[in-house]
Structure 1
Amino acid sequence: MQSRTSAPALVAGAVLAPVGLVLSIILFGGGSQAAADVCSPTGSSVSVDASQLPKVAVAGYEGEQLKNAALIINAGKARGLSARGQTIGVMTAMGESGLRVLDYGDGPGPDSRGLFQQRDNGAWGSYADRMNPTTSATSFFTALQKVSGWEQLEPTTAAHRVQRNADPFHYQSYWAAAVEVVAALGDVPITDAGGESSCGIPGQSGKDDDLPWRTAKIYEPSPLGMFNRECVDFALWRVNQQLGSTTAPYKVLNGTFRPDGAVLGSALTWKDGWDAKGWPTGGTPRVGAVVWYSPGTGGADGTYGHVAVVKAVNGDGSFLEEGYNGNPAPNDHTYYTRTVENSTPSAFLYLPGSDQPEEP
């Protein structure tokens, strides 16, 4: 079992409003359309009536940005892509240009232009082609369809195979917003009648304080073999969610995680547990990664350390952390969020498949 005091002694800094993952939304736009699964590789295409775009922002995008998203979606429709493929296109343009037709590039690619920041290397057509939303989107989708098995790849990996940018995880933080925009513009639901969604991908888990036993008595065993409402209990719940295990019997438990038979244990031993299992670790925050603090680091308990989960990664390199048992008593065994500098934790613990996308 883990210790009863595995949270930071100090939780300084502003507590931000949670950045919720998109599971259900209020749909805007006119006209009914047969339901399409936005995230499934087998979902049908989505089309958008450009004359019926929302008058309000969707996931922070509005006006010309939504018009460009509509053009991307319809270009994907013309190429026969699934709604998932169309959503990957919108996600990529969000990450490259903020859904704006940019007439400039950046340091690594000063000749990059347009929604997808396509280079002047002959592969993406003329300057006019790259500056045309429909033409540039068609070029992106044509290249995407040439990527072997792209439908089954993580969206950020599929986009990276086309764009070849420096960070293969660059697009990951835009996926939820892209799902929301495509669903809203296409007038389709994200969840089915039972409230289920296929939008989960490695690095994407539940929403806010969704620990099923969040009111259970503390210092008693949870269904995961940890103590109820400890930092390790919530983190292991998130790991199970990302592995597709949200009901008993759970895939990973305190007593079954390590192949050598040792318990995963307190926050102190989580890095060793990850190493024993052969799972990847690193120094870069990624959505869904477990944040590991060695004893005394970042205000963590001096004996047992602390673990939490990366909820969102900010543009300045800091990240929004979520977890349990991160506040002083009497709020110690409750859910919290806080913004943390990238350099503060001792390590980030990744799930398999979320650290290094396989390259062709």
Structure 2
Amino acid sequence: MQRKSLGLVALIAIPGLFFGLIFTMLLLLAPAKPAAADCGPAVSVVIDGNTKVEGYTEEQLKNAAAIMGAGKALDLSVKGQMISVMVSLGESGLRVLDHGDGPGPDSRGLFQQRDNGAWGSYADRMDPTRSATNFINALQAVAGWELLEPTIAGNRVQRNADPYHYQKYWPEAVKLVQALSNSKFSLQGSDCAVPGQSGAGDDYPWKNSPTWLQAGANASSTSPLGMYYRECVDFALWRVNQQMGSTKAPFKFLNGSFRPDGQGLGSALTWKAGWDAKGWDSGSTPRVGAVVWYAPGAGGADPSFGHVAVVKEVKGNGTYVEEGYNGNPAPADHSYYTRTVTNTVPSAFLYLPTQEEKK
């Protein structure tokens, strides 16, 4: 439970108000232990059995569909999906490559993303959905990308030497997206988290319920997740359940049963310890859907309880967009907010288990 609103952190932009915070100390995070994810079968792409595209294997069609699925999750237009497929065709032939080339020996995956910190971990770059999500986030951050030639838009993200490198792949990308449209593929989930599938905007189910300040710290102000309504922790735990496929009661992850040692997940103060106790991974790189953890006082968070939020979008300039509840001063507390934050401000990012982390 967070009882005091989070102070405003770096790069916040609210119409008419601009806030900043100067940090004089960097918190060095110890490497997190690998997650002991209890995932079920891998999240997979299933193609309609009647869908065939001449010249492409089932693997390539599934990868194109994964790119389109990531685009749909981020409200990307059909043209944007075509650009994304075009770039992957030009980089890897729609194959998840575990090698690079001369100019980029550390490049990996569908988009041949470099190991420079901008594209996540090795597992991120080798995962079709995650790598596509990161590419699309970068594409959407390009000013006026919709008005650019497709090959130029792709080049603004990839920054390869020839801005017209992708031009010859555009007709094929159009053909593939058209062939796979109209629900001719589906993403079949498991108990693993699906990055980017965390909902859109303020879809918190209990946004009109009374807070503990209004109703007292009792059952009437406690959500089905075991946290107080409209607190940062309740919203974050809702997002965790949502991404893990649990969107209605009985919910899979509850305050009282989250940790295997019998302790409650508790206030934001103890969330990192709860993640460690569960064997889930954490780190210093933002990922869409990850929980943002602020230790007490970090980034202007409450000095006693800290704060948690959720990564909504990762930008390509060292910042991410954060969403959460109870992160603004009264009278806007206990309500939904978003803001742009520098990657180095939080104390840690708490990741949800994915199939790659189980391997």
What is the distance in 2 between the residues matched to 1:9 and 1:45? 53
Identity %: 47
Q: Deviations over 1:305-354 (max 9, x none)?
A: 00000111101121110111111111111111110000000001111227
* 1:164–1:210 CA distance, 2 compared to 1 (3 A): closer
Q: Which residue of 1 aligns with 2:332?
A: 331
Structure-2 residue corresponding to 1:206 = 199
Question: Which residue identity does 1:206 align to in structure 2?
Answer: G
When residues 80 and 352 of structure 1 are mapped into structure 2, their CA distance, relative to the original with a 3 A threshold, is closer
Task: Return 5+ residue gaps in structure 1 as ranges.
Answer: 17-38, 48-72, 102-113, 119-135, 145-158
Distance verdict in 2 for CA 1:89–1:314, change over 3 Å:
closer
Q: Which deviates more, 252-261 or 199-208?
A: 199-208
Query: How far apart in 1 are the matches of 2:201 and 2:57?
Result: 37
1:274 touches 1:280 (CA, 8 Å); kept in 2? yes
Instruction: Give secondary structure in 1 for the equivalent of 2:321.
Output: strand
Matching residue of 1:150: none
Task: Measure, in 1, the Cα distance between the counterparts of 2:110 and 2:180.
Answer: 29
Separation in 1 of the partners of 2:2 and 2:341?
24
Aligned length: 255
Instruction: Return the letter of the residue paired with 1:240.
Output: N
Change (3 A) 1:191 1:199: farther
Superposition deviation, residue 185 in structure 1: 3.2
Secondary structure, in 3 states, of the residue corresponding to 1:238?
helix
Match of 1:269 in 2: 270
Deviation, 1:43, is 2.6
Aligned counterpart, 2:6: 8
Give SS of 2:339's match.
strand
Question: AA paired with 2:302?
Answer: D
For residues 154-202 of structure 1, what are the alpha-carbon distances to aligned partners after superposition, in whole Å with 9 as ceiling and x for unaligned? xxxxx83895853432462634959xx989734734599xxx9758953
- Shift of the 229–164 alpha-carbon distance from structure 1 to 2, 3 Å rule, reads closer
Bigger share in strand: 2
Matched ranges for 1:72-91 at <5 A: 74=53, 78-81=56-59, 84-88=62-66
> Judging changes above 3 Å, is the alpha-carbon distance between structure 1 residues 230 and 354 closer, same or farther for their aligned structure 2 residues?
farther
Q: CA deviation at 1:81?
A: 4.7
TM-score by length of 1: 0.60
TM score, norm. by length of structure 2: 0.60
Q: Give the partner amino acid of 1:209.
A: D
* Secondary structure of the corresponding residue to residue 264 of structure 1: coil
Distance across 1 between alignment mates of 2:86 and 2:63 = 20
Question: Aligned partners of 2:277 and 2:67: how far apart in 1?
Answer: 38
Distance 1:259 1:229, change over 3 A: same
* Letter paired with 2:65: T
Q: Does 1:345 align with 2:346?
A: yes
Say whether the 8 Å CA contact 1:225–1:255 is kept in structure 2.
yes
The yes-or-no answer on 1:160 pairing with 2:104 is: no
5 Å matches for 1:1-360? 2-5=1-4, 7-10=5-8, 13-14=12-13, 41-44=45-48, 74=53, 78-81=56-59, 84-88=62-66, 115-117=89-91, 136-137=93-94, 140=95, 160=109, 166=115, 167-168=121-122, 169-170=124-125, 172=130, 174-175=132-133, 185-186=178-179, 188-189=181-182, 198=188, 202-204=194-196, 205-219=198-212, 220-353=221-354, 356=357, 358=359
Please give the alpha-carbon distance, in whole angstroms, between the structure 1 residues aligned to 2:6 and 2:251. Answer: 27
SS at match of 1:86: helix
1:344 counterpart letter in structure 2:
V
For the 8 Å contact 1:289–1:350, the answer to whether it is kept is yes
Partner AA of 1:259 in structure 2? P
Return closer, same or farther for 1:261/1:326 CA change in 2, 3 Å cut-off.
Answer: same
Aligned letter for 1:14? A
* SS of 1:234 mapped into structure 2: helix
Q: Which residues of structure 2 form unaligned runs of 5+?
A: 16-42, 72-79, 99-107, 116-120, 138-172, 213-220
Q: Distance in 2 between matches of 1:79 and 1:355?
A: 23
From the superposition, tell whether residues 162 and 175 of structure 1 become closer, same or farther in structure 2 (CA, over 3 Å). Answer: closer
* Alpha-carbon separation, structure 1, partners of 2:266 and 2:46: 40
SS of the aligned residue for 1:160 comes to coil
Mapped partners of 2:184, 2:223: distance in 1: 29
- CA distance in 1 between partners of 2:239 and 2:345 (Å): 21
| CA deviation after TM superposition for structure 1 residue 14, in Å | 1.4
Q: Deviations 1:74-126 (Å, cap 9, x if unpaired)? A: 467x324585332246779x99x96667xxxxxxxxxxxx94335xxxxxxxx
Asked whether the equivalents of residues 46 and 74 of structure 1 are also in contact (C-alpha less than 8 Å), the reply is no
Point out 4+ residue stretches in structure 1 off by more than 4 angstroms. 73-76, 89-92, 97-101, 161-165, 181-184, 189-192, 196-201, 354-357
Greater shift after overlay, 203-212 or 268-277? 203-212
Amino acid at match of 2:195: G
For residues 173 and 80 of structure 1, the distance between their equivalents in structure 2, rounded to whole angstroms, comes to 19
Distance 1:328 1:198, change over 3 A: farther
Q: Is the 8 A contact 1:298 1:344 kept in 2?
A: yes
